[in-house]
Amino acid sequence: MEPNTLLDAVLDEAGISHAALAAHVNEAGRARGMELRYEHTAVARWLKGQRPRGQVPDLICEVLGERLHRALTLDAIGLGTPGSARGAGTPLSGFVERATALWRSDEQQRPHIVRAPAVTGTPAVIPVWEWENPPEDADVSREGMTRVSMRDITMLRSARAHYEQMYRKAGGVATRARVVGFLISEAAPLLRGSYPDATGRQLHRATGGLVAVAGICAYDSDAHGLAQRYFHQALRLAKASGDRGLGAYVIALLVNQSLHMREHRQAVAFAESALRAAGPRITPALAADLYAMQAKAYARLGDGAGALSCIRRAENAAERIRPGQEPDETGYVQPGLVNVQVAEALLNLGDLDAAREHATAAVDTPAHDRGRVHRLAMLTHIELRQGDADRAGATAVEMAQRARGMESQRLRDRLRAVREHLVESGCAATSEAAELIDGALRVPL
């Protein structure tokens, strides 16, 4: 049996205890002429995945629906027909309930959610395929208790920008709980609200941007299965919005995660899907990032020709970036980002001189602290590979100083990797940097 996270989330939202639910179900049963004697232990079994018999699932829907002032289906509480489809092709109302259940499980740090591994193979590909292919959502309007206005959508957009900046400064570990709490308290009631099709599409787009940030924070916290589920949710919301550009941005996040998981062929395929599906609506910044990540994947696969072709395309796209003409989500593609991506691809191809030239250009370009740490780490690796220990030590010192105070598992992994290379060099010039990195790593997350 799998835990019933949907029922768990609805109970939490309704603010009802296990004992109270059992008592209300017994009372509702008596109104139908049934003699029920459920206690809190029965509810605990339902939450563990046991399905109650007969009319009891309908009674649970009735009790919780009255409490929440909205109709609930069996699927909404995780008690639908066993084996029924639950994919991205199901109605949006069902998707919203499953999405909010995940958010609540994350907020409550449920181990089976937070520690779940990322899926690979067909389960990883299906959400991307469903985003790219028909059918589209013909109408996303909804009738609910709360009327959604453009002011609400503006609030969601502002929140996305706020949490993205928080992530860049403090890291995903510190930011994730805040953005997830916001999704539960502010975004979920709006998704369940009342809105016409046009407003609904903007609402789903704004929520998709926020969910993507939650996924980035989960990825940065080393919770890869959870991050992947957030990215898949964001992709479904992007499809409902009708904005192909937003979907291509979410695919870029999946490409980045695929690279980290060493799923290099998947990274190439996903990037190609985003470029193909978005077509002329893809922005230069996003195209540059997708091509640069493809170059890294091809380099890891040993395909030098493929990598160099993508590098040229990334550089051409980067030259067409115009500040102020990009959506908020692609703001991460700052000057120098393509340089450091290309540097990594060239490093894997063994072209150290060209790699150092690109890495130096990336470091010499202004960036937020988080991006600068990654750029300095890449330059340190290249300088060590070239035998320039003195320069590498100085670069690593700056990297360690800038990393202080950031709660990020990804940055900690990067620091550890740099430290290992510094120690392997065996040079006195690198000892100070190694000690600074040790100090940064001693700070608990």
Q: Please report the domains of the chain, with CATH numbers, ordered by start residue.
A: 5-83 (no CATH), 85-242 (no CATH), 244-365 (1.25.40.10), 368-445 (no CATH)
Which pLDDT belongs to residue 103? 94
**Mean pLDDT over each residue of the chain, to the nearest integer:** 91
Residue 82's pLDDT band (cuts 50, 70, 90): low
Q: Is the separation of the CB atoms in 76 and 6 below 8 Å?
A: yes
Specify the higher pLDDT residue, 248 or 95: 248
pLDDT of residue 403: 85
Locate 272 and state its tokens: 């190609």
Q: Taking 60 as the threshold, does the pLDDT of residue 85 lie above it? A: no
Give the whole-angstrom CA distance, residue 227 versus residue 243.
21
What angle separates helix 92-107 from helix 5-14, to the nearest 10 degrees? 80
147 strand-pairing partners: 194
> Over 60: is that where the pLDDT of 391 sits?
yes
Tokens linked to 290: 């997708």
Condensed to tens digits (0 to 9), the pLDDT of residues 107-129 reads 988 888 899 999 999 999 999 99
Does 15 score more than 70 pLDDT?
yes
Residue 172 has pLDDT above 80, yes or no: yes
How confident is the model over 159-174, as a mean pLDDT? 93
CA distances in angstroms from 134 to 10, 88, 89, 137, 138, listed in the order given:
31, 12, 10, 9, 11
DSSP one-letter string for 370-403:
HHHHHHHHHHHHHHHHTT-HHHHHHHHHHHHHHH
pLDDT of residue 84: 47
Contact assessment for residue 163 and residue 182, using Cβ atoms and an 8 Å cutoff: yes
Q: Tokens 């399905």 correspond to what residue? A: 51
Is pLDDT at 87 greater than 50 in this prediction? no
d(CA 383, CA 427) in angstroms, rounded, equals: 13
| 406 residue type, one letter | M
Per-residue pLDDT at 78 exceeds 70? yes
Q: Give kind and range of the element (H or E) at residue 104.
A: helix 92-107
Confidence of residue 238 (pLDDT cuts 50, 70, 90): very high
Averaged over 318-341, what is the pLDDT?
91
**Residue of 84 and 366 predicted with greater confidence:** 366
Residue 262: pLDDT band by 50, 70, 90 thresholds? very high
| Ramachandran sector of residue 338 (left: φ over 0; alpha: ψ -120 to 50; beta: rest) | alpha
Query: How far is residue 162's CA from residue 150's CA, in Å, rounded to a whole number?
Result: 18
* Lowest-pLDDT choice from 307-321, 346-360, 416-430: 416-430
pTM above 0.95, yes or no: no
Q: What is the DSSP-derived secondary structure letter of residue 13?
A: H
At 90 the pLDDT is 47
Mean pLDDT of the region 284-296: 97
**Radius of gyration of the chain from its Cα atoms, rounded to whole angstroms:** 24
Give the C-alpha separation, 273 to 251, whole Å: 8
Structure tokens at 42: 């029965």
